[in-house]
Chains A and B, each alone.
Chain A
Amino acid sequence: MKRVVVTGLGCVTPIGNSVEAFCDSLFAGRSGIAPFDLGAMPGALSPDPGIRFKTTAKVKGFDPSGNPEHRLTPSFMLTSELGAQFGIVAARQAVAASGLLRHYDPAEVAIVSGCSCGGRGADEDANRNLYTRNARVPPTAIIRTMASSGTSNIAIENGVTGPTLNVATACASGTHALGLAFQMVRAGIAPAAIAGGYEAALTYGFLRAWDSMRVVSPTACRPFSADRDGMTLGEGAAMFTLEPLDAALARGARIWAEIVGFGMSADAHHVTQPLARGAALAMQRALDDASTTLGLAREQTMERVGYINAHGTGTQTNDQVEAAAIHQTFAELAPRIPIGATKAQTGHSIGAAGAIEALATVLALDAAGLPPTAGVTEIDPALNLDVIVRQQRPLAPGKHLALSNSLAFGGLNAVLALRRYTG
Chain B
Amino acid sequence: MDDVESRIIELVAKSKNLPVTDVRMNSTFDELQIDSLDKINLSFAVEEMFSIEIPDDSLNSLKTVGDVVRGVESLRAAAASPDAAAS
Chain A residues proximal to chain B, CB less than 8 Å: 65, 73-75, 77-79, 136, 138-140, 143
* A-B pairs, 9 with minimum CB distance: A74-B17, A139-B40, A74-B16, A139-B44, A139-B41, A140-B41, A138-B44, A78-B41, A74-B15
Which B residues are in CB contact (< 8 Å) with A143? 37
Contact, CB under 8 Å: A79 / B37: yes
Question: What are the interface flags for B26-46 relative to A under an 8 Å C-beta threshold, 1 for contact and 0 otherwise?
Answer: 000000000101101100100
Given A74-B17, A138-B44, output 11 extra A-B contacts at Cβ < 8 Å: A74-B15, A75-B38, A77-B17, A78-B37, A78-B38, A78-B41, A79-B37, A136-B47, A138-B41, A139-B40, A139-B41
- With an 8 A cutoff between CB atoms, is B48 at the interface? yes
Which B residues are in CB contact (< 8 Å) with A73? 17
Q: Which residue of A lies closest to B48 (CB)?
A: A136
Which A residues are in CB contact (< 8 Å) with B48? 136
Which A residues are in CB contact (< 8 Å) with B38? 74-75, 78
Interchain CB contact (< 8 A) of A136 among B16, B40, B44:
B44
How many B residues touch A, CB cutoff 8 Å?
Answer: 11
CB neighbors of A among B1-55 (8 A): 15-17, 35, 37-38, 40-41, 44, 47-48
CB distance from A203 to the nearest CB of B (A): 22
A65 to B14, CA, bound (A): 12
Which B residues are in CB contact (< 8 Å) with A138? 41, 44
Contact, CB under 8 Å: A78 / B15: yes
Which A residues are in CB contact (< 8 Å) with B17? 65, 73-74, 77
Q: Which residue of B lies closest to A71 (CB)?
A: B17
Which B residues are in CB contact (< 8 Å) with A139? 37, 40-41, 44
Q: Which residue of A lies closest to B15 (CB)?
A: A74
Which A residues are in CB contact (< 8 Å) with B35? 75
Q: Which residue of B lies closest to A72 (CB)?
A: B17
Which A residues are in CB contact (< 8 Å) with B15? 74, 78
Which A residues are in CB contact (< 8 Å) with B47? 136
CB distance from A250 to the nearest CB of B (A): 40
CB distance from B60 to the nearest CB of A (A): 16
A139 to B39, CA, bound (A): 10
CB distance from A126 to the nearest CB of B (A): 12
Which A residues are in CB contact (< 8 Å) with B40? 139
Q: Which residue of B lies closest to A139 (CB)?
A: B40
A140 to B41, CA, bound (A): 7
A136 to B15, CA, bound (A): 19
Q: Which residue of B lies closest to A65 (CB)?
A: B17
CB distance from A134 to the nearest CB of B (A): 13
Which A residues are in CB contact (< 8 Å) with B41? 78, 138-140
Q: Which residue of A lies closest to B40 (CB)?
A: A139
A324 to B36, CA, bound (A): 54
9 A-B pairs with C-beta separation under 8 A: A65-B17, A74-B15, A74-B17, A75-B35, A79-B37, A136-B44, A136-B47, A139-B40, A143-B37
Which A residues are in CB contact (< 8 Å) with B37? 75, 78-79, 139-140, 143
A77 to B15, CA, bound (A): 9
CB distance from B47 to the nearest CB of A (A): 8
A75 to B35, CA, bound (A): 9
Q: Which residue of A lies closest to B18 (CB)?
A: A74
Q: Which residue of A lies closest to B39 (CB)?
A: A139
Which A residues are in CB contact (< 8 Å) with B44? 136, 138-139
Which B residues are in CB contact (< 8 Å) with A75? 35, 37-38
A302 to B48, CA, bound (A): 62
Q: Which residue of A lies closest to B14 (CB)?
A: A74
A73 to B16, CA, bound (A): 8
A143 to B38, CA, bound (A): 12
Which B residues are in CB contact (< 8 Å) with A79? 37
CB distance from A146 to the nearest CB of B (A): 13
Q: Which residue of B lies closest to A138 (CB)?
A: B44
